[in-house]
Amino acid sequence: MTGQVSDLETIEDGPDHIPEPVGIGFDAIGRSLRAGWQDFRRAPGYGLFFSAFYVLGGLVLTAVALASGQEWWLMPFIVGFPLIAPFAAVGLYDVSRRLEEQKPLIWREVLGTVFAQKDRQLPSMAMVVLLMFMFWVFVAHTTFALFMGVSALTNITSSPEVIFQGRGLLMLLIGSLIGAGFAAALFSMTIVGLPLLLDREVDFITAIITSIRAVARNPVVLLVWGLVIAAVLFIGILPCFLGLFIALSLLGHASWHIYRELMPDDQGEDE
């Protein structure tokens, strides 16, 4: 299996050289989206396959919440979805990389590359993101309880208008600011960190630091890119999560190309 052999060879060779992140312009966002859409059109089956895990997860979560009468639990999960969505793109990164290198797309090899990540640094990154996501859910419910009272948690399903009255509006403002902080932190850690872990043999701490440096060098452009991601995911979630089939596919491929914009493959090889 080509992907697995490549990964094992890389591990034996030791850590890869990590080039400096470069500055990019707003035009990189348009190029990445167009390239991502082109990749999806060239290999739609892969996008639909990897996105299906998150669509099914969202549907199951919704069904459980509705059946138990705890719909309010969905709110922090839906708001926090962009925090963990990048992991749906790991398989799509490999697809885009193979298309970029003009390699044939073979299901066995793509899945082999994805499964091979369990022996590399990706699980460590996944644990960091998962812990932050769960902490976000805890903070979201704590913020609600502090502003609205514990009893409101049991009444919000039958009286959702309570959120838009009195302290509810202040709670929404404070909660949104806290959520934005979590999203910004994880976005900064993963925008380069995740594709870098797939692309090169580095430890997850180095990947996180490199990702943060890329964001620090392009704060405004990547802020806009983050807003684009959030908007596309939100639109994808609205039709019962079904829009995520397209949204995650597009963003997964496009995220690989924005990574290439930030970390060109041809720089640093001679350094």
Query: If you average pLDDT over residues 72-84, what whole number do you get?
Result: 61
Buried b (16+ CB within 10 A) or exposed e, 45-69: ebbebbbeebbebbeebbeebeeee
pLDDT value at 119 more than 50: yes
- pLDDT category of residue 164 using cuts at 50, 70 and 90: low
More confident residue, 215 or 148: 215
- Confidence class of residue 174 from pLDDT cuts 50, 70 and 90? confident
pLDDT tens digits, 214-252: 999 999 999 999 999 989 988 988 888 889 899 999 999
pLDDT at 186 over 80: yes
pLDDT at 76: 62
Q: What is the pLDDT of residue 121?
A: 87
- Mean pLDDT across 4-33: 75
In the chain, where the domains are located = 2-8+24-262
Q: How far apart are CA 255 and CA 15, in angstroms?
A: 23
> What pLDDT, on the 0 to 100 scale, is given for residue 8?
41
Q: Indicate the pLDDT class of residue 84, thresholds 50, 70 and 90.
A: low
Per-residue pLDDT at 161: 58
Is residue 128 scored above 70 in pLDDT? yes
pLDDT of residue 71: 60
Q: Rounded to the nearest 5°, which phi and psi values hold at 106?
A: -125, 125
Residues 61-73, mean pLDDT to the nearest whole number: 67
Q: Which two tokens stand for residue 103?
A: 């390699």
Q: Does residue 48 contact residue 250 with C-beta atoms inside 8 Å?
A: no
Give the pLDDT confidence score for residue 157 in this predicted structure: 52
| Confidence at 197, pLDDT banded by 50, 70, 90 | very high
Position with higher pLDDT, 5 vs 70: 70
